[in-house]
Amino acid sequence: MFKPKYHIFVCTSSRVNGQQKGFCQSRESVEIVNSFMEEIEERGLGGQVMVSNTGCLALCEKGPIVVVYPDNVWYGGVSPEDAVEIMDVHIEGGSPVKRLEI
Ligand code: FES
């Protein structure tokens, strides 16, 4: 069974019925997921890092929300470009990106 070293969750405001509707979705969260997927692929980290989209995490006013486990670090106001910094500084560098932490 594959257990990633890091699991990145991105709120895409997905509803139970599969519909994507809500704040994070309206602020490029699908593009954030794609950015993480591209970075994981380009860095050859597919065996260590996994990204998943989630439903609303109840912090809409601070969205788009990204959560990195097992570190339990929550990021807010994330952009697709910020995904690159999170990969550089947190996932590969081992330290949270302070300016995005909530
Ligand atoms: S829609 Fe993302 S936290 Fe609510």
Query: At CA 34, angle to CA 38 and CA 1, rounded to 5?
Result: 75
Lowest mean pLDDT among 2-6, 20-24, 91-95, 98-102: 20-24
Give a yes or no: residue 67 inside a domain.
yes
Q: Alpha helix locations (H) across 1-85? A: 23-26, 29-42, 80-85
With beta carbons less than 8 A apart as the criterion, state whether 92 and 64 touch.
no
Atom of ligand 1 nearest to the CA of 23: 1
Task: Provide the pLDDT for residue 18.
Answer: 67
Q: Which domain holds residue 89?
A: 6-100
Ligand 1 center from residue 36 Cα (angstroms): 18
Q: How many domains, the chain?
A: 1
1 within a domain of the structure (yes/no): no
Choosing from 60, 62, 67 the residue with most ligand 1 atoms within 8 A of its CB, the one to mutate for a pocket test is 60
Query: For 23-75, what is each residue's pLDDT tens digit?
Result: 899 999 999 999 999 999 999 999 999 999 999 998 999 999 999 999 999 99
CATH number at residue 73: 3.40.30.10
Question: What pTM was computed for the model?
Answer: 0.93
- Residue 92, in any domain of the structure: yes
Is 81 a member of any domain? yes
Under the banding of pLDDT at 50, 70 and 90, the label for residue 17 is: confident
